[in-house]
Amino acid sequence: MKLSKAVLKDRIHACWIGKNIGGTMGTPYEGKTEMQDIRGFVTPSGKPLPNDDLDLQLVWLLAMEEHGPYNLNAQILGEYWISYITPHWNEYGIGKANLKAGLLPPLSGQYQNNWKHSNGAWIRSEIWACLAPGCPDIAIRYALQDACVDHGMGEGTYAEFFTAAMESAAFVVSDIRKLIGIGLSKIPSGCRVSRSIRLVLDCYDKGLDWKTTRSRLVEDSADLGWFQAPANLGFVVLGLLYGNGNFKRSMILAINCGDDTDCTGATVGALLGILGGMDGIPEDWRGHIGDDIVTVSLDNSCIGFAKSCTELTERVCSMIPTVLKANQAAVQLVDPAIESGREMTVEEVEALSDPTFAARLYDMPGYSYSVDFIYASARVEFDAKPVMEPMGSIRIKIRFFNKTREARHLHIRLFLPEGWSADGWWRDVYLPHSSNASAIWSAKITANEKVEPMNRILAEVTAPGRPSVGLIPITILG
């Protein structure tokens, strides 16, 4: 696949401008559950409104620049949450509280999180799509690391899979209906996000007007409550379908559906920006918000964040070759004077909808987290909430994955709080030779009468002939 550097840069810039337009237009109506009747901006001209949809993506770009695409994972993003992101509302606050209690992602987003089906993740998916243009499976790989920090393996995470895949594919596929199909291929068919999107598609295909479609979507999602991902992503899809590619009409329709209006408008604007580039964004709306980025959710003592859409675009474009190389993407970036490619064949478009890789990602348990130690990695899994009472027990499972083609024995040694015990486990685990082969180690941990609010267990993993020691922290709440 060949992508023109100039075209790519133009579309990424339009993505951020579109994001700012939708966020600014939708913010005054955020949280209004009734249907709206807007016509355009109600804010003064010259500056965009601040919006967390874009704020968090500035942090993710900084994390990518500082740690690189080979290393970037949910644990790193969790540390950046605590360092740079200030809000404590809804899933943001729950995720940060769990991180501070010692719970690693996705456990941090899963435990006691009644907002894990909400909108905080899919609204920040554009950074992964722009770093992996035309490569939806790469985009959703990073989207998982992002979303699971504060959404675990809930509907909010599936929602970011959908938007990241659709936006990444939009760099090479122009048909909105096909893009929606690509997004759906990356999420479980039985999840609520899929159900809401398919409801909108069905209503649209039956010729129902947009208001009827909106009403049916609201009714179908009533049990989830407000500010939840399934209905609001349905509003995004409604705007895209009934707007028929028209930038203004699509955004106004999405915002008029109500609820999380800054998020729905901003996502519609970002996707249409990718599809149409700067020429596709109406000049009067571009002029209304300008090029600046105004933040509301960041600790601005860090000077590393982009200050404008132009700067953000430049920095994203500089990272794209590294991200593509790290993920072995079959994409070539070419100069403007060179032929930038051709129309994708039906088979190539269908290949973007392959669900295999996505299924491996969303199959991860919510009560789990992963730790890497070079030659192998480990995933800690809990059968239930990681909570222990005095004299109580909990079973812990660690699934080891081989990262080389060399069979090995792993020796596990536990360091427990004083007076605690472990039984029903083996000190030696055999890991087969094939890359990504797995083996399971299990232990039943029993506490004594002393249980602290936060109890730390350490599993030390060593392998004969390997100098590196794997250290796996296991946090049990009291």
Q: Which of 377, 369, 417 lies closest to 396 in space, CA to CA?
A: 369
Distance CA 295, CA 272 (A): 23
Q: 396 pLDDT exceeds 90?
A: yes
User: Is a pLDDT exceeding 70 seen at residue 425?
Assistant: no
* Domain shared by 330 and 405, yes or no: no
Q: What confidence score (pLDDT) does residue 343 get?
A: 67
| Whether residues 347 and 376 fall in one domain | no
Q: Are residues 436 and 324 in the same domain?
A: no
Question: CA triplet 474, 475, 478: central angle to 5 degrees?
Answer: 145
Q: Which residues contact 155 (CB under 8 A, 6 or more apart)?
A: 116, 117, 191, 192, 193, 228, 229, 230
Q: In this structure, is residue 418 part of a structural domain?
A: yes
Does 313 map to a domain?
A: yes
Q: In this structure, are 48 and 194 located in the same domain?
A: yes
% of the chain exceeding 90 in pLDDT: 91
CATH number at residue 396: 2.60.40.10
Exposed (0-12), middle (13-18) or buried (19+): which is 36, by Cβ within 10 Å? middle
The residue among 353, 379, 405 that closes a domain is 353
Q: Give the neighbor-by-neighbor strand order of the sheet with 454-462.
A: 428-431, 408-415, 454-462, 470-477
Q: Is the pLDDT of residue 339 over 60?
A: no
How far is Cα 445 from Cα 423, in angstroms, rounded to an integer? 7
Q: Do the beta carbons of residue 239 and residue 251 sit within 8 Å?
A: yes
**In whole angstroms, what is the distance from residue 157 CA to residue 168 CA?**
16
Does residue 412 belong to any structural domain of this protein? yes
Does residue 271 register a pLDDT over 90?
yes
Within this chain, do residues 55 and 87 fall inside the same structural domain, yes or no?
yes
On whether residue 362 sits in a domain, the answer given is no
Q: Average pLDDT in the 395-407 region?
A: 92
Number of domains in the chain: 2
Q: In the structure encoding, which two tokens stand for residue 264, read together? A: 């729905």
Domain end point (choices 327, 353, 379): 353
Are 21 and 6 contacting, i.e. CB atoms less than 8 angstroms apart? no
Residues near 234 by Cβ (< 8 Å), separated by ≥ 6?
Answer: 196, 197, 199, 200, 217, 221
193 belongs to a structural domain: yes
Q: What is the distance between the alpha carbons of residues 219 and 200, in angstroms, rounded to a whole number?
A: 12
The CATH number of residue 236's host domain is 1.10.4080.10
* Within-domain flag for 359: no
The verdict on residue 148 lying in a domain is yes
Is the bond preceding 44 in cis, omega lying within 30 degrees of 0?
A: no
pLDDT at residue number 338: 57
Length of the chain: 478
Is the same domain home to 38 and 157? Answer: yes
Residue 336 has pLDDT above 90, yes or no: no
Instruction: Decide: residue 101, CB within 10 A, 0-12 exposed, 13-18 middle, 19+ buried.
Output: middle
* Average pLDDT value over all residues in the chain: 95
pLDDT in tens, 179-228: 999 999 999 999 999 999 999 999 999 999 999 999 999 999 999 999 99
Q: 319 near 307, Cβ under 8 Å?
A: no
Same domain, yes or no: 248 and 291: yes
Is 321's pLDDT higher than 70? yes
What band does 24 get if pLDDT is binned at 50, 70 and 90? Answer: very high
36-67 pLDDT, tens per residue?
A: 999 999 999 999 999 999 999 999 999 999 99
Q: Do 340 and 412 belong to one domain?
A: no
Q: How confident is the model at residue 390 (pLDDT cuts 50, 70, 90)?
A: very high
Of the pLDDT bands very low, low, confident and very high (cuts 50, 70, 90), residue 301 is confident
pLDDT at 346: 83
282 has a pLDDT exceeding 90: yes
**Average of pLDDT values for 24-35?**
96
The angle that helices 74-84 and 136-151 make with each other, rounded to 10 degrees, is 50
Question: What pLDDT shows up at residue 342?
Answer: 59
Of 353, 387, 422, which closes a domain? 353
pLDDT at 411 over 70: yes
Region 463-470 average pLDDT = 94
Answer yes or no: do 79 and 182 share one domain. yes
Residue 358 lies in a domain: no
> Which pLDDT score, from 0 to 100, does residue 341 have?
53
Q: Is residue 169 located within the same domain as residue 296?
A: yes
Contact between 35 and 206 under an 8 Å Cβ cutoff? The reply is no
Of 14-28, 347-361, 396-410, which has the strongest mean pLDDT?
14-28
Q: Model's pTM, two decimal places?
A: 0.95
Provide the domain limits for residue 372: 368-477
Note the pLDDT tens digit of each residue in 221-264: 999 999 999 999 999 999 999 999 999 999 999 999 999 999 99
* Sign of the alpha-carbon torsion through 88, 89, 94, 95: negative
Give the pLDDT of residue 340.
Answer: 52
Residue 21, pLDDT above cutoff 90:
yes
* Confidence bin at 175 (pLDDT 50/70/90): very high
Whether 346 and 437 map to the same domain: the answer is no
Residues 156 and 68 in one domain: yes
What's the start-to-end Cα distance of the chain, in Å?
A: 53
Q: Write down the pLDDT at residue 303.
A: 86
CA–CA distance from 144 to each of 85, 183, 436, 439, 463 (Å)? 19, 14, 19, 23, 30
pLDDT at residue 204, rounded to an integer: 98
